[in-house]
Chains A and B, each alone.
Chain A
Amino acid sequence: MTSHPEVEALAFFAEDLLEPDEERSVADHIETCAICATTIDELAGVTRVLADVPAPTMPQDVADLLDGRISEAVSERAAAERPTGGRDATRPAESDAPASVTPISRKRRGFGLPKLFMVAAASVFVIGAGTAVVGSLMSDEPDMGAASQLLEDTATEDAPDTARSYSAEGVASGTVYTEDGFTTQASAVLDQAGDDDSVGVQSEESATLPQGVRECVAHVEATTDSHVTLVDDARWEGPEGTDRAWALFTRNGEGVDVLVVDPVCARGGDLDSAVLAEGSL
Chain B
Amino acid sequence: MEAAQELPDKELLSRHAQGDEQAFAVLVRRHRERLWAVAIRMMHDPEEASDALQDAFLSAFRPADRFRGESQVTTWLHRIVVNACHDRLRRRKVRPATPTEDETLDVISNERLGRTGGAPDHASQTESRLDVHAALEQLPLDQRMALTLVDMLGYRVDEAAEILEVATGTVKSRCARGRAKLLPSLAHLRNPGLPRDVTSGRGGANPS
Q: Give which listed residue, A51, A66, A74, contacts B53 with CB less than 8 A.
A: A66
Q: Are A46 and B28 in contact (CB under 8 A)?
A: no
Main secondary structure of the interface of A (DSSP, over half): helix
Q: Are B47 and A39 in contact (CB under 8 A)?
A: no
Q: Are B112 and A56 in contact (CB under 8 A)?
A: yes
Give the docked Cα–Cα distance between A78 and B49 (Å). Answer: 28
Inter-chain contacts of A201 with B (CB < 8 A): none
Given A50-B132, A53-B152, A38–B46 Cβ distance below 8 Å?
Answer: no
Given A43-B179, A53-B129, A37–B172 Cβ distance below 8 Å?
Answer: no
- Which of B70-78, B158-166, B183-191 touches A? B183-191
Q: Are B147 and A63 in contact (CB under 8 A)?
A: no
7 A-B pairs with the lowest CB-CB distances in the bound complex, closest first: A45-B190, A11-B176, A58-B36, A50-B151, A8-B180, A11-B180, A7-B180
Given A55-B41, A62-B53, A74-B24, A47–B151 Cβ distance below 8 Å?
Answer: yes
Give the docked Cα–Cα distance between A56 and B191 (Å). Answer: 22
Interface residues on A, range: 35 or more
Main secondary structure of the interface of B (DSSP, over half): helix
Q: Are B51 and A208 in contact (CB under 8 A)?
A: yes
A22 located at the interface, meaning its Cβ lies under 8 Å from any Cβ of chain B in the complex: no
Q: Are A211 and B196 in contact (CB under 8 A)?
A: no
Inter-chain contacts of A1 with B (CB < 8 A): none
B57 located at the interface, meaning its Cβ lies under 8 Å from any Cβ of chain A in the complex: yes
Q: Give which listed residue, B32, B112, B154, B191, contacts A63 with CB less than 8 A.
A: B32
A26 to chain B, nearest CB (A): 13
| Binary CB contact string for chain B from 172 to 208 against chain A (1 if under 8 A, 0 otherwise) | 1101110110110011011100111011100000000
Q: Are B151 and A51 in contact (CB under 8 A)?
A: yes
Inter-chain contacts of A91 with B (CB < 8 A): 21
Given A47-B151, A56-B40, A65-B54, A39–B25 Cβ distance below 8 Å?
Answer: no
| Selected A-B contacts with CB under 8 Å, 20 pairs | A16-B172, A41-B198, A43-B179, A46-B182, A46-B183, A49-B132, A50-B148, A51-B152, A52-B191, A62-B53, A63-B32, A65-B50, A66-B57, A70-B61, A71-B25, A73-B61, A74-B21, A77-B19, A78-B21, A211-B50
A46-B151, A55-B36, A62-B50 known; 9 other A-B pairs, CB under 8 Å? Answer: A41-B198, A43-B179, A45-B194, A47-B179, A55-B37, A55-B41, A58-B32, A74-B21, A93-B21
Inter-chain contacts of B28 with A (CB < 8 A): 66, 70
Given A17-B172, A62-B46, A70-B28, A53–B53 Cβ distance below 8 Å?
Answer: no
Q: Are A51 and B180 in contact (CB under 8 A)?
A: no
| Binary CB contact string for chain B from 34 to 69 against chain A (1 if under 8 A, 0 otherwise) | 001100110000110111011001100100000000
Name the residue among B19, B169, B176, B186 with the largest chain A CB count within 10 angstroms. Answer: B176
